[in-house]
């Protein structure tokens, strides 16, 4: 029985640093059934057309996380992305290496910074030496305790989120979505005894550089939802240590600001976040904006029903986070 | 059509031109905007980081205000749209709903979850419709090359926003075409403007904003347009910093969504508050005037 096929055009990024002057795109045209995974197509290219095409893969079942690459500009697992929908949308399939990591050759990137950021969060249980585990005993968790991890144990470390993240791209101080989602997993682990230290440390180690753009949550093939766990970490970090950084001062300042009038007092918030000296450094930019937008310096009128807002604060702003710490 | 108008903090203060343009366009298209001086801030993504449940409860109160009036709620900011929609989604969790109800019930506030949250972009393209807008265009935008810049929270997380495709949105470009502009497609149109870390690390925020403007320009954009006043602050208010970050001048006029619509529908630059922008919009208005 013959299967229906489509003619698929692949434009594949090729580059060998040190040998090639610049990257190029090689075009391969294959007739394949529309459900063919991109990875299968690339392996066919390698087997039948160009054995020098270099890529990383292993399980072919979306478990190992090795074959993440950019497929029509989106970071995806090649073993999971079928060619049919890609062709339908874009007419061809552009294959490129993941972003935010230097290319070693063709589709293989150097994942050094990704793994360095991962090991930096100490992705293992930290136990207090003063309270060692009793010899020969297990340390079980209840199903409810396991639920605290949310979707984070699903992560296969494919780095699709790292590739999609604009904060990683712009600032090496940001550890990336995957490392932070993993950190969340250890912070809420009831067996871990370093959650307080972990939260204090991450406040200065890039937590507040997350842009909450949710591109990581969109890119993740396992629906780990890193951006939402990073939000959880921020709330827990404030609960653990208070507002010590610009980012946490801004979040807490914002909360206090809304409590006063129900809406934002822009100038006051800048004062709260930067402090008097920091604010001075912002003054030239502030004056530029103020000249066009004089409302910047005006405090808004309190909203009607400000008393309701105050009562909601009294009921729900009692220092407890939604994730009660273990 | 009649909607509960949720202008958000910025459009009532430093981004007042957005409110002016929205009111002008609403009037021109027969949208009745009902104001509620009791609306509080959406939390802007920052309050959410400090206390998620509090943020949800404050937005449940906002939604209940519109609900009591039997109206859907109109936002003109991607972040307001995101935060209010997220409140609707999170309140679907009975545990969250119980905590929020516990705070609202003593105040006599009931949240039932029947109010839809709609951004102006959605109302224009889906409810008013492109044909109705096309019929009202009196000053076509002369093929002006405009790069739409969506703003993260209008699109993502896609499964919670329930709006169009987060990866390949097209409503804004469809609208621009109807107005006589030529939409420019570039990768940055669905990326982040950098605003959320403007107060954390300004130089990184400016680098990110600069990158998107450079991308739009490289694809031929003569102007950018955004449905989010926070993106507008980043792309227009701080464009001088973005230019510093990328190492060259950018000179990219950035319009609010209703300003682009208003221009094509015949509003004057003053009516749309274009003089309030940091980056001059006169290259656009001069071009349209020369044509007329």
For residue A188, give the CATH number of its domain.
1.10.1060.10
Residues A104 and A116 in one domain: no
Backbone phi and psi for residue B146, each to the nearest 5 degrees, phi listed first: -120, 130
**Alpha carbons B176 and B257: distance in angstroms, whole number:** 10
Residues A308 and A196 in one domain: no
**Alpha carbons A251 and A23: distance in angstroms, whole number:** 43
- In this prediction, residue B292 carries a pLDDT of 64
**Alpha carbons B218 and A250: distance in angstroms, whole number:** 34
Residues A128 and A192 in one domain: yes
Please tell me if residue A322 touches chain B, with a CB cutoff of 8 Å.
Answer: yes
Residues A100 and A153 in one domain: no
CB contact under 8 A, A217 and B200: no
Q: At what angle do helices A246-261 and A306-316 cross, to 10 degrees?
A: 130
3-state secondary structure of B91: coil
Residues A225 and A141 in one domain: yes
Is pTM beyond 0.90? Reply is: yes
pLDDT band at B101 (very low <50, low <70, confident <90, very high): very high
C-alpha to C-alpha distances, A117 to A31, A100, A231, nearest whole angstrom:
41, 13, 19
Query: Which of A241, A268, A301 marks a domain boundary?
Result: A241
Is A165 a domain residue? yes
| Residue from B36, B40, B219 whose CB has the most chain A CBs within 10 Å, to mutate | B40
Is A1 a domain residue? no
- In this prediction, residue A230 carries a pLDDT of 98
pLDDT band at A324 (very low <50, low <70, confident <90, very high): very low
Please tell me if residue B194 touches chain A, with a CB cutoff of 8 Å.
Answer: yes
Judged against a pLDDT cut of 50, whether residue A325 lies above it is answered with: no
Query: Which of A211, A241, A271 marks a domain boundary?
Result: A241
Least CB–CB distance from A235: residue in B51, B237, B275? B51
The count of other CB atoms within 10 Å of the CB of residue A148 is 17
Q: At what angle do helices A177-187 and A226-241 cross, to 10 degrees?
A: 50
Query: Tell me: the pLDDT tens digits for B160-175?
Result: 997 788 989 999 999 9
| Residue among B113, B116, B4, B7 nearest B60 (CA) | B113
Please tell me if residue B189 touches chain A, with a CB cutoff of 8 Å.
Answer: no
- Work out the angle at residue A266's Cα, subtended by the Cα atoms of residues A256 and A210, and round it to the nearest 5 degrees: 75
Residues A165 and A70 in one domain: no
- In this prediction, residue A320 carries a pLDDT of 56
For A226-231, what is the mean pLDDT?
98
Is A119 a domain residue? yes
Least CB–CB distance from A304: residue in B38, B106, B200? B38
The count of other CB atoms within 10 Å of the CB of residue B185 is 14
Residues A92 and A147 in one domain: no
Judged against a pLDDT cut of 60, whether residue B194 lies above it is answered with: yes
CB contact under 8 A, B192 and A245: no
**Alpha carbons B190 and B249: distance in angstroms, whole number:** 23
Residues A100 and A213 in one domain: no
- How many domains is chain A partitioned into structurally? 3
Is A277 a domain residue? yes
Question: Which domain CATH number covers A35?
Answer: 3.10.20.30
Interface of B with A in 113-142 (CB under 8 A): none
Query: Which of A184, A217, A241 marks a domain boundary?
Result: A241
Strands A68-71 and A74-77, bridge-based pairing: antiparallel
| Beta strands in chain B, from DSSP E residues, in sequence order | 2-6, 32-35, 73-75, 117-119, 145-148, 182-184, 223-226, 254-256
CB contact under 8 A, B107 and A285: no
Size of interface A-B (CB pairs under 8 A): 187
CB contact under 8 A, B54 and A313: yes
Per the structure, the complete domain to which residue A305 belongs is given by 246-324
Residues A189 and A127 in one domain: yes
- In this prediction, residue A326 carries a pLDDT of 36
Residues A236 and A117 in one domain: yes
For A137-156, what is the mean pLDDT?
92
Is A217 a domain residue? yes
Backbone phi and psi for residue A144, each to the nearest 5 degrees, phi listed first: -65, -40
**Alpha carbons B151 and A4: distance in angstroms, whole number:** 41
- In this prediction, residue A281 carries a pLDDT of 84
Which residues on chain B are in Cβ contact (under 8 Å) with A170? 194, 204, 207-208, 211
For B163-190, what is the mean pLDDT?
95
Judged against a pLDDT cut of 90, whether residue A278 lies above it is answered with: no
Contact of A177 with A226, CB cutoff 8 Å: yes
Provide the shortest C-alpha distance from residue A109 to chain B (in Å). Answer: 21
Least CB–CB distance from B37: residue in A303, A312, A315? A303
**Alpha carbons A235 and A232: distance in angstroms, whole number:** 5
Residues A68 and A165 in one domain: no
pLDDT band at B76 (very low <50, low <70, confident <90, very high): very high
The percent of residues above 90 in pLDDT, for chain A, comes to 78
For A179-188, what is the mean pLDDT?
98
- In this prediction, residue B258 carries a pLDDT of 98
For B36-47, what is the mean pLDDT?
97
Lowest mean pLDDT among A146-160, A192-206, A261-275: A261-275
For B195-221, what is the mean pLDDT?
96
- In this prediction, residue A2 carries a pLDDT of 60
Residues A70 and A139 in one domain: no
């Amino acid at each position: 029985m013959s299967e229906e096929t489509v003619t698929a055009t692949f434009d594949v990024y090729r580059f060998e640093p040190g040998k090639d002057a610049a990257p190029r795109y090689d075009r391969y045209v294959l007739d394949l059934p529309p459900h063919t995974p991109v990875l299968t197509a690339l392996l066919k290219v390698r087997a039948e057309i160009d054995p020098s095409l270099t890529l990383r893969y292993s399980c072919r079942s979306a478990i190992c996380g090795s074959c993440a690459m950019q497929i029509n500009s989106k970071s995806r697992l090649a073993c999971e992305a079928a060619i049919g929908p890609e062709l339908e949308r874009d007419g061809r399939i552009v294959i490129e290496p993941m972003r935010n990591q230097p290319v070693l050759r063709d589709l293989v990137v150097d994942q050094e910074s990704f793994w360095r950021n991962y090991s930096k969060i100490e992705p293992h249980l930290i136990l207090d030496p003063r309270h060692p585990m009793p010899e020969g005993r297990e340390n079980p968790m209840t199903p409810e305790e396991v639920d605290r991890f949310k979707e984070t144990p699903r992560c296969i470390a494919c780095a699709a989120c790292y590739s999609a993240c604009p904060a990683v791209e712009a600032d090496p101080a940001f550890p990336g979505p995957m490392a932070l989602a993993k950190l969340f997993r250890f912070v809420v682990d009831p067996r871990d005894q370093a959650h307080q230290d972990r939260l204090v440390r991450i406040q200065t180690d890039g937590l507040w550089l997350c842009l909450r753009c949710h591109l990581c949550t969109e890119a993740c093939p396992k629906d780990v939802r890193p951006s939402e766990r990073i939000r959880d970490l921020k709330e827990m970090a404030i609960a653990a240590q208070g507002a010590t950084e610009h980012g946490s001062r801004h979040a807490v300042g914002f909360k206090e600001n809304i409590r006063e009038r129900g809406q934002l007092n822009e100038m006051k918030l800048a004062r709260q976040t930067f402090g008097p000296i920091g604010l001075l450094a912002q003054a030239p930019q502030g004056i530029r904006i103020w000249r066009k937008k004089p409302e910047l310096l005006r405090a808004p009128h309190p909203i009607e029903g400000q008393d309701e807002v105050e009562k909601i604060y009294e009921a729900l702003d009692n220092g407890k986070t939604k994730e009660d710490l273990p | 059509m009649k909607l509960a108008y949720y202008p958000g903090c910025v459009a009532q203060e430093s981004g007042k031109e957005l409110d002016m343009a929205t009111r002008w366009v609403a009037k021109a298209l027969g949208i009745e905007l009902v104001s509620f001086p009791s609306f509080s801030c959406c939390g802007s993504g920052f309050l959410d980081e400090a206390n998620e449940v509090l943020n949800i409860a404050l937005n449940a109160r906002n939604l209940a205000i519109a609900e009591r009036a039997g109206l859907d709620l109109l936002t003109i900011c991607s972040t307001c749209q995101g935060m209010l929609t997220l409140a609707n989604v999170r309140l679907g969790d009975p545990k969250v709903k119980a905590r929020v109800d516990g705070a609202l019930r003593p105040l006599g506030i009931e949240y039932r979850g029947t109010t839809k949250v709609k951004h102006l972009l959605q109302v224009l393209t889906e409810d008013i419709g492109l044909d109705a807008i096309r019929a009202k265009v009196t000053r076509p935008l002369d093929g002006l090359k405009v790069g739409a810049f969506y703003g993260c929270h209008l699109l993502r997380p896609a499964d919670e926003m329930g709006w169009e495709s987060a990866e390949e949105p097209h409503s804004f470009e469809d609208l621009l075409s109807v107005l006589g502009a030529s939409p420019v497609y570039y990768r940055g149109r669905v990326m982040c403007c950098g605003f959320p870390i403007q107060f954390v690390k300004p130089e990184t925020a400016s680098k990110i904003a600069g990158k998107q403007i450079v991308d739009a320009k490289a694809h031929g954009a003569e102007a950018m347009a955004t449905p989010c006043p926070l993106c507008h602050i980043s792309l227009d208010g701080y464009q001088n910093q973005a230019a510093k970050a990328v190492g060259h001048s950018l000179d990219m006029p950035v319009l609010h969504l209703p300003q682009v619509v208003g221009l094509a529908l015949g509003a004057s630059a003053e009516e749309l508050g274009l003089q309030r922008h940091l980056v001059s919009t006169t290259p656009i208005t001069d071009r349209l005037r020369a044509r007329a």
